[in-house]
């Protein structure tokens, strides 16, 4: 189990060190936007965004991210988010 955790940490560290990957610190504006996104998702009647997801979406929107790649179909419904569903790429 420990080896799997260490391997996962190493893979994430490798990914985050790749050229073109920016790591953005959460500031107050992103935190506020995260809260607004969570509240809006609850009001919309769809599956509410969890806090980590809301933080990712808020960061992408605040930084003008070119694209967010993920596997949550609900994110396709988020207005203004440049999102590509992983399943759409691999054809499942």
SS (H, E, C) 53-67: HHHHHHHHHHHCCCC
In a domain, 14, yes or no: no
- Return the structure tokens found at 83: 């999102």
Split into its structural domains, the chain has a count of: 1
Digit-coded pLDDT (tens) for 13-71: 888 888 888 889 999 999 999 999 999 888 877 778 999 999 999 999 999 988 898 88
- Confirm if 75 and 81 have CB atoms less than 8 A apart: yes
Q: What does the pLDDT read at residue 92?
A: 55
Q: What does the pLDDT read at residue 2?
A: 67
In a domain, 25, yes or no: no
In a domain, 12, yes or no: no
d(CA 3, CA 11): 12
d(CA 77, CA 80): 9
Q: What does the pLDDT read at residue 12?
A: 85
Q: What does the pLDDT read at residue 62?
A: 94
In a domain, 55, yes or no: yes
In a domain, 6, yes or no: no
In a domain, 87, yes or no: yes
In a domain, 62, yes or no: yes
Closest CA to 78 of 38, 51, 22: 38
Domain that holds residue 88: 49-92
Say what the pTM is. 0.75
Residue 78, classed as helix, strand or coil, is coil
């Amino acid at each position: 189990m420990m080896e799997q955790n260490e391997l996962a940490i190493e893979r994430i560290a490798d990914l985050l060190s790749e050229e073109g990957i920016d790591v953005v610190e959460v500031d107050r504006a992103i935190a506020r936007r995260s809260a607004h996104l969570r509240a809006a998702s609850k009001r919309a009647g769809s599956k509410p965004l969890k806090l980590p997801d809301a933080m990712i979406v808020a960061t992408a929107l605040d930084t003008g991210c070119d694209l967010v790649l993920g596997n949550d179909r609900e994110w396709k419904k988020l207005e203004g988010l440049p999102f590509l569903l992983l399943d759409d790429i691999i054809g499942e």
